[in-house]
Amino acid sequence: MHDQFIRDRISILRTKQGISEYKMSLDLGHSKSYVQSISSGRALPSLSEFLYICEYLGVTPKEFFDTELEEPQLVHRLTELARMLSKEDLTMLIDFAERLGAKK
């Protein structure tokens, strides 16, 4: 993956949640221009900071890099909720999802 992909993906995921660069920077414990410096290409986060950014944005690193996921934050939330379901409930959820997929 290229540096620009990382910058763009952070911006897209941040924007989908309605979070400003300023707020995200402060929430991450950095100066107010930290995220803007990433977006503009002046900086890239360290690996540990990248993992923290993923957590902040509500995605796993795998979901972050999965370009086929249009809504990785929603997929992550659904996965987290599905982990708490019984086998029967998971089966019903799969059946429902398959019916929805068939309609497309």
pLDDT tens, position by position, 58-70: 999 999 999 888 8
Q: DSSP class of residue 30?
A: S
Domain with 15 in it: 3-102
What is this structure's pTM?
0.79
To the nearest whole percent, how much of the chain has pLDDT over 70?
96
pLDDT tops 80 at residue 1: no
Total domain count, the chain? 1
At residue 44, the pLDDT reads: 93
Q: Which of 21-25, 30-34, 54-58, 97-101 has the lowest mean pLDDT?
A: 97-101
Assign residue 49 the CATH number of its domain: 1.10.260.40
Cβ atoms of 72 and 66 closer than 8 Å: yes
pLDDT tops 70 at residue 90: yes
Q: Is 97 exposed, middle or buried (0-12, 13-18, 19+ CB in 10 A)?
A: exposed
